Structure 1
C-alpha cells in the first residue's frame, strides 16, 4: 500500500481523537496498532464512531477536507 505523509495538523487530529478515547478502549488500541504498522488510515469522529478507511484516494480526500475545514 502506498504511504502518504502525515502533516502536523493530521498528527494533532489523531492526538485529539486519542484523547477522547479511554486508554482501555479497544478502538484506541487498534488505532495505535494500525499507526504502528504504517497503514494509511482515515479517521472520522462521529460521537465515538470511528471509521477506518484504507483506500488511498479516500484518505487523501479526507485529509484535504479536514485541512479545508480548519
Structure 2
C-alpha cells in the first residue's frame, strides 16, 4: 500500500495516457465508419438502353466492383 501512495502520480499519468489512447481509437473507428457511409456510389442499372434485352448492372463503390448481366 505504501508503494501505491509513493508512485500514485506516475500511475495516474500512465492510466490517463491509456484512457486517452482508448478514446483516440474509438474516435478513429467512428470517423472511418462515418466517412465510409458518406462515400458516393455510382449505380448504373441499364447500360444498353430499353431496346436491348441485355441489361448490364454496374456498381462502383470504394473497393468493390461487381457486374451482372441478365438475358
TM-score tier (shorter):
under 0.3
Q: Which has the larger radius of gyration?
A: 2
TM-score, normalised to structure 1, is 0.23
TM-score by length of 2: 0.23
Higher strand share: 2
